Structure formats: structure tokens, C-alpha cells
Amino acid sequence: MRTSSLLKWVIRMFLRLYHRVEVIGMEKFPREGAALIVGNHISYIDPFYIGSMLPRHVHFMAKAEAWRFRITKFFLDIFQAFPVNREKADIQAIRTALRYLEEKKLVGLFPEGGIREDVAPLQEVKQGAAFLSIKANAPVVPIYLSGSEKALPVGKIWIRPSKIRIIIGDLILVPEAGTFRERQEYLSQQILQTLLDLRKSIEQMD
């Protein structure tokens, strides 16, 4: 078993035993082909938890600063994540993402642009996900995760036994009509609204 597969298995078992994880909508997840995995971002453990529960490997785009710390660099490298400089248009990160999508693989990112501490989450999304989706003609898989902000709050180092729920939404297809800019804005709004709807669905379960 490869190191990444072994680590995914360990995290998956940890999620099931320690967090009583509940995954909803797995039947909607594409079993083949390129796709963008987009989700809300409420904790540093989000990409590892989401990636471990999915049946296919996801190459997550993560902020470049995360590679400065040995522990996060270790996990990100094993998960074959790749860095993005959030201070500018990172051409190398865009090329890497498009290459994975051209190879019919999965790319994951958090369209909020990072963990939000100062404002309520999901008030807006950046347009990078929509840009990549249109350029690669790859559908978007919306995923909403709840509980990780309690399991590992920002600034904490110990993971707590919080209930974790992961809900997978319907595929969001690339819009065909309009200019590139119009399609990008429309798709970004679709992503935002879908994540809001998924959050509402999870809140109704509590």
C-alpha cells in the first residue's frame, strides 16, 4: 500500500471512530473523469478529512505558506497537494491544476480563499474555481463539511471528538452560453449558492 493510501486509510478510520463521521450523497460523486472539488473552509484539517473520505485521490491546491511548517508540509506532500501564492495570480499553480484536470484527475480547492475568522463564512467566493472549471471544461463537485471547526479550531493543536458531517451536492456543469467573463461570474454564483444550500441541509439535521 502506498504511503498516501495508508495515510488516507488511517485518517478514514480516525474519522469513523473518533468523529462518528457521516457522509451524505456519495452516490453523486463522479467515479471517473476530471472534476473540481470545491468546499467550505473552516479548519486546517478540511482537505485531509475531505480527501480521505472520497473514493478517488484529490490534488488539493493549498496556500504556499503551509509548506513552511514541517508537519503540514509532510501531510501536504503525501497527499500530493500543490502550493498557490494567494497574493497574486499564480500562473504555475493554474498550470498545475489544469494539467491534473487534463489528465482526468481531481483538483480540490476552497473558493473562499482561505479560512475566514473575521467574517461569517460563505459570504462570497473567489472566481478561481469557476475559471479552472471553464478552462478545463470540468464539472464542479460541491462539498460542505461541518464540525471540523470544533474538532480543530484555528489556533489550537489538539483535535477534539466533534461530530463530522460531509455532504456532497449535485454536479455543477460548465455553462455554455455567454462570454467567458459572464460564464465565470455565473458559475461562481452557482458554487456559492450550492454551498449555502448544502449548509442549510446540514443545519436542518441538528
pLDDT grade for 197, boundaries at 50, 70 and 90: very high
Domain count, the chain: 1
Say whether 202 sits in a helix, a strand or coil.
Answer: helix
Residue 57 belongs to what domain range? Answer: 15-204
Q: Is the pLDDT confidence value at 80 over 50? A: yes
Strands 106-109 and 140-146: unpaired
Give 150: exposed, middle or buried? Use CB within 10 Å, 0-12, 13-18, 19+. middle
User: Is residue 40 within 8 Å of 121, Cβ to Cβ?
Assistant: yes
- Tell me whether residue 3 is in a domain: no
- Tell me whether residue 184 is in a domain: yes
Cα–Cα distance between 205 and 109 in angstroms, integer?
26
Q: Is the pLDDT confidence value at 7 over 90? A: no
pLDDT tens, position by position, 114-169: 666 544 556 567 889 999 999 999 999 999 999 999 999 888 889 999 999 999 99
Cα–Cα distance between 47 and 45 in angstroms, integer?
6
- Read off the CATH number of the domain in which 200 is found: 3.40.1130.10
Strand order in the sheet with 35-39: 22-24, 165-168, 140-146, 35-39, 106-109, 58-63, 82-84
- Tell me whether residue 2 is in a domain: no
- Tell me whether residue 1 is in a domain: no
pLDDT at residue 119 in the model:
42
Cα–Cα distance between 115 and 185 in angstroms, integer?
22
- Tell me whether residue 103 is in a domain: yes
Longest dimension (CA), the chain: 48
pLDDT tens, position by position, 17-74: 999 999 999 999 999 999 999 999 889 899 999 999 999 999 999 888 888 888 888 8
pLDDT at residue 118 in the model:
45
What sign for the dihedral angle of Cα 87, 38, 186, 118?
negative
Q: Note if the pTM is more than 0.85.
A: yes
Q: What is the rounded average pLDDT for all residues in the chain?
A: 90
pLDDT (mean) for 79-87: 86
* Closest to 167 (Cα-Cα) out of 206, 123, 138: 206
- Tell me whether residue 10 is in a domain: no
- Tell me whether residue 187 is in a domain: yes
